[in-house]
Structure 1
Amino acid sequence: MTSGLRALTARGRSFIASGVAALLCAFLFGEHDLLRIGVLIVSLPLLAAMVVSRTRYRLSCTRRLDPPRAQVGSEATVTLRLENVTRLPTGLLMIEDTVPYALGARPRFVLDRVEAHGVREIDYRVRSDLRGRFAIGPLTVRISDPFGLVELTRSFSISDTLVVTPQVVPLPQVRLSGELAGGGDSRTRSVAAAGDDDVAPREYRQGDDLRRVHWRSTARYGELMVRREEQQWQSRGALLLDTRRYAHRGEGPRSSFETAVSAAASIGAHLAREGLGLRLVTDQGAEQLPDTGPGWPLLDALAMVRTSAARSLEYGIAALRQGGGDGLVVAIVGLLDVEQARDLARLRRGNMTGVAVMLDVAGWEQPEAAGNEHYRAAQQVLAGAGWRIVRLPSDASIASVWPEAAQRGRFALSGSGS
């Protein structure tokens, strides 16, 4: 009863105040009819409080996100499934789900009545122009009497997470030699040129092709052994994303930084479809990719990446050197001076393919300053070291300039007349 009185709405408190005033006036003036009216007015909210506070509704709630990951600017559907698990029908229910400001206004719904063991499903849409992980929930249910005099609030504890990933645009097919970590034809490597005695076998694992069984080693160790050199090698590559705050221009979703993140997501998704295993590196070093299933770790990591206060790429370049074995490195960079370009250029060695996606960040603030002398000088340094240059101005998409990745070194610059 006490909790019911605390849940009185403004209307309920007004009823009690009006009823008390009517009772006082009835005693002062001796009006029996006014006394009956006062008792009725006071009794209504008190009875409603008693009924609502003693109501034992048991509700269960589940939430479904479709899709659980959405790109920036696209919509996701949230489905709430509310079930009355008691034998009593509910009264009026007001439902409000908790969503972050970035996803829009809080959705509110009114359910007139849910029968015993009844189920109601409610859909609403959310949309975000910002990347990130957003918690949706918990759900709040407000129980009210038919007159709106008392309102009790009950909250569920469950919440779900919507991941908003960068925008991914389809890229045209471009042949990038050096994509594979290792050598040989196609996607396999054979190093058994000196005969079976030089083979380094390993134990058989479920799923290995039985044609790879090395019978001599199997007889020696007493268990199935397969030729290690005949395993299919995992294609490997690295994606370097420049997150330095001072290296980017513009604000919000149209800034050069958000363009760089979207380019990284598009290139990463494109290469992943080609079977390339990618690791993400920023100017802060190697990023730990979340274990979220095939195809998603890179996008989930890029959904959370933020700008840094770093002034150089030294930690990112060091992480790429330590990793080793990358057949392909794609560097998506903002503002570079000549010295930083030299540090990045020295990263390429041997048969490694280096692709530098260079954002012309000056154009994000002053379009007339695009392609300035510093930008061209950094391009010349990287192209001179054999990097493939992909220029990304403020008025172009990564899909329109990605074919430049097929041009090698100096040919990329000489062919464009820069």
Structure 2
Amino acid sequence: MRRAWPLTARGTGAVLLAVACFIAANEAGLVELVYFGALLLIAVAASLGSLYLTRHAETVTRTLYPDVATVGREAQVSVRAGVRTAVPTPPGTWRDVLPRGLSGSAEGVFPALGSGLSRNERIIDLSYTVQGAARGVHALGPLTVRATDPFGLARRTTVFGERTPVTVVPSTTDLPPLADFAGETGGSLHTTTNQLGQGADNLVARPYEPGDSMRRIHWRATAHRDQLMVRQEEQESTPEASVVLDRGVLRWSMDAMRAPGADPGFEAGVSAAVSAVARLVRDGYAVEVLDSDGTVLAERIDGGDMDEVEIFLTHVATLTARRDDTLGKLPRVFAGVMTGPVIVVVGRFDAADAVTIGPVAHHSTLPMLFSVMPVGDALERAADAGWRIGAIDVDGDFSRAWSGAAGRGVRHVVG
């Protein structure tokens, strides 16, 4: 980060001119040239001293708003540097080094500073805007400041502070609510109820039975039915959904296992999966996120708990593919159970895979299958087995595939 030669072109010329004056003074016997050459060297030395004997950074802190960056969205970075200087310093330029996971312009003018003899530290606040470029945890910084002396003879590039880790989470597409397709889902979108003898919400009336407390008499229902009625409470139970992200590297590329953000196809799959999770939670489902072998990728997220969705996004920021191919184990994960929506996101998907996971569709009220790289008529064969299908376009809008699969059943929709 530091330049080997600390002088500017003007400073280098001054040194060369001073040397030439000394040579000419020796050849021509002109003492005045010696004085002039010495004056030039003194000026250069003073310029170097004004830069290298002043301006020391004690602390550098960075704050990101929001706390995590999102692929494709902007975030604001605030940098606070505590600087000490014994003598006034001229303005310079600053630049914060951006990792590959962030893009933007992180540079500007570093202000001139007055003497710090009367106080210990001067606080400098800088800010800039970045955009998430690649999922993962990336190191932001260090901050570098480049300054020249007032005469433009010398320059100094100083590294301020340490690097700051920044988490970049996958992009989330705002999907249409499944409530728009209630007629297609077998009624699983709504909360189910179990009648109990206790509770305080969702009251219904039933005929009075010996032993019922008089405090539970429902007077309006009693008057309406002309018989003694009591309040019967109902307890709500949350419908469940599952989102499956197949991470087998053979269905993506080796880059998907190397680092987050390295394989565009895998990134599209991750984005589709987290978008589905966010939509289902917002619709009131309790969602579990699984790998195709049943491995839990995130703890159960209760319906409506969007704060947990944000935590989930942070958790998958470092998710990569794995070496095993376990899509064939998916039928065992759902064997013997009947559940709500099951959303499966996979990379390469062929006709043999459609046969293998076909039985899973019969264990879900809303089986939806999305593939980034469908082979031949594999998706159509999956649709014949009961799946609602969609192809994920790496550069497209996932909401189109989602709407098509949820609303039109077995139609192959690219989004």
Fold match by TM threshold 0.5: yes
1:333-352 maps to which residues of 2 (within 5 A)? 333-347=346-360, 352=364
Tell me what 1:264 maps to. Answer: 273
- The one-letter amino acid of 2:353's match is Q
Tell me what 2:208 maps to. Answer: none
Tell me what 2:191 maps to. Answer: 186
Sort the Cα spacing of 1:6 and 1:398 in 2 relative to 1 into closer, same or farther, 3 A: closer
Q: What is the Cα deviation at residue 349 of structure 1? A: 6.3
- The one-letter amino acid of 1:157's match is E
Sort the Cα spacing of 1:133 and 1:277 in 2 relative to 1 into closer, same or farther, 3 A: farther
Q: What is the Cα deviation at residue 144 of structure 1? A: 3.7
- The one-letter amino acid of 1:23's match is F
Higher normalized strand content (fraction of residues): 2
Q: What is the Cα deviation at residue 373 of structure 1? A: 3.5
Q: What is the Cα deviation at residue 41 of structure 1? A: 1.4
- The one-letter amino acid of 1:412's match is G
Sort the Cα spacing of 1:277 and 1:336 in 2 relative to 1 into closer, same or farther, 3 A: same
Q: Secondary structure at 2:81's aligned position in 1?
A: strand
Tell me what 1:113 maps to. Answer: 112
Sort the Cα spacing of 1:285 and 1:93 in 2 relative to 1 into closer, same or farther, 3 A: farther
Q: Secondary structure at 1:28's aligned position in 2?
A: helix
Match of 2:309 among 270, 278, 295: 295
Q: Deviations over 1:107-166 (max 9, x none)?
A: 332324134565443332222443333322221234542224141523201414041422
Sort the Cα spacing of 1:188 and 1:99 in 2 relative to 1 into closer, same or farther, 3 A: farther
Looking at structure 2, the residues matched to 334 and 314 of structure 1 have their Cα atoms a distance apart, in angstroms, of 14
Looking at structure 2, the residues matched to 267 and 168 of structure 1 have their Cα atoms a distance apart, in angstroms, of 9
Looking at structure 2, the residues matched to 121 and 323 of structure 1 have their Cα atoms a distance apart, in angstroms, of 60
User: Percent identical across equivalent pairs?
Assistant: 23
Name stretches of at least 5 consecutive residues in structure 1 with no aligned partner. Answer: 197-207, 210-229, 363-369
1:1-150 maps to which residues of 2 (within 5 A)? 8-11=6-9, 12-55=11-54, 57-84=56-83, 89-104=88-103, 107-115=106-114, 119-146=123-150, 147-150=152-155
1:139-218 maps to which residues of 2 (within 5 A)? 139-146=143-150, 147-172=152-177, 173-175=180-182, 176=185, 186=191, 189=194
Question: Is 390-399 or 129-138 further displaced after alignment?
Answer: 390-399
> Is residue 382 of structure 2 the alignment partner of residue 361 of structure 1?
no
Looking at structure 1, the residues matched to 365 and 382 of structure 2 have their Cα atoms a distance apart, in angstroms, of 18
Looking at structure 1, the residues matched to 93 and 173 of structure 2 have their Cα atoms a distance apart, in angstroms, of 38
Question: Is 307-316 or 326-335 further displaced after alignment?
Answer: 307-316
Looking at structure 1, the residues matched to 380 and 56 of structure 2 have their Cα atoms a distance apart, in angstroms, of 70
Tell me what 1:214 maps to. Answer: none
Tell me what 1:226 maps to. Answer: none
Sort the Cα spacing of 1:253 and 1:170 in 2 relative to 1 into closer, same or farther, 3 A: farther
TM-score by length of 1: 0.68
Looking at structure 1, the residues matched to 244 and 373 of structure 2 have their Cα atoms a distance apart, in angstroms, of 17
Q: Once superposed, what is the RMSD of the aligned Cα atoms?
A: 4.5
Q: Secondary structure at 1:294's aligned position in 2?
A: helix
Runs of 4+ in 1 over 6 A off after TM superposition: 4-7, 251-254, 322-325
Sort the Cα spacing of 1:335 and 1:6 in 2 relative to 1 into closer, same or farther, 3 A: closer
Tell me what 1:329 maps to. Answer: 342
Tell me what 1:220 maps to. Answer: none
**Contact 2:71 2:133 survives alignment (8 Å):** yes
Q: What is the Cα deviation at residue 52 of structure 1? A: 2.9
Sort the Cα spacing of 1:44 and 1:231 in 2 relative to 1 into closer, same or farther, 3 A: farther
- The one-letter amino acid of 2:34's match is L
Q: What is the Cα deviation at residue 296 of structure 1? A: 1.4
Looking at structure 2, the residues matched to 390 and 167 of structure 1 have their Cα atoms a distance apart, in angstroms, of 20
Q: Deviations over 1:347-398 (max 9, x none)?
A: 4666x43522233735xxxxxxx8x4333223213x1xxx4x1333649743
Sort the Cα spacing of 1:344 and 1:189 in 2 relative to 1 into closer, same or farther, 3 A: farther
**Contact 1:7 1:49 survives alignment (8 Å):** no
Q: Deviations over 1:331-357 (max 9, x none)?
A: 12344344433432334666x435222
Q: Secondary structure at 1:171's aligned position in 2?
A: coil
**Contact 2:60 2:162 survives alignment (8 Å):** no
Looking at structure 2, the residues matched to 166 and 126 of structure 1 have their Cα atoms a distance apart, in angstroms, of 15
Tell me what 1:276 maps to. Answer: 285
Q: What is the Cα deviation at residue 413 of structure 1? A: 3.6
Looking at structure 2, the residues matched to 5 and 400 of structure 1 have their Cα atoms a distance apart, in angstroms, of 53
Q: What is the Cα deviation at residue 232 of structure 1? A: 6.3
Q: Deviations over 1:70-95 (max 9, x none)?
A: 44322222222334466754433332
Looking at structure 2, the residues matched to 5 and 138 of structure 1 have their Cα atoms a distance apart, in angstroms, of 16
Sort the Cα spacing of 1:334 and 1:151 in 2 relative to 1 into closer, same or farther, 3 A: closer
Looking at structure 1, the residues matched to 370 and 342 of structure 2 have their Cα atoms a distance apart, in angstroms, of 14
Sort the Cα spacing of 1:87 and 1:336 in 2 relative to 1 into closer, same or farther, 3 A: same
**Contact 2:252 2:348 survives alignment (8 Å):** yes
Looking at structure 1, the residues matched to 40 and 412 of structure 2 have their Cα atoms a distance apart, in angstroms, of 88
- The one-letter amino acid of 2:6's match is L
- The one-letter amino acid of 2:242's match is A
Looking at structure 2, the residues matched to 317 and 18 of structure 1 have their Cα atoms a distance apart, in angstroms, of 83
> Is residue 379 of structure 2 the alignment partner of residue 375 of structure 1?
yes
TM-score by length of 2: 0.68
Looking at structure 2, the residues matched to 86 and 47 of structure 1 have their Cα atoms a distance apart, in angstroms, of 16
- The one-letter amino acid of 2:47's match is A
- The one-letter amino acid of 1:42's match is L
Q: Secondary structure at 1:121's aligned position in 2?
A: strand
> Is residue 402 of structure 2 the alignment partner of residue 402 of structure 1?
yes
**Contact 1:133 1:162 survives alignment (8 Å):** yes
Q: What is the Cα deviation at residue 308 of structure 1? A: 4.7
Sort the Cα spacing of 1:323 and 1:232 in 2 relative to 1 into closer, same or farther, 3 A: farther
Aligned length: 358
**Contact 1:166 1:303 survives alignment (8 Å):** no
Q: What is the Cα deviation at residue 65 of structure 1? A: 2.0
- The one-letter amino acid of 1:29's match is A
Q: What is the Cα deviation at residue 270 of structure 1? A: 0.7
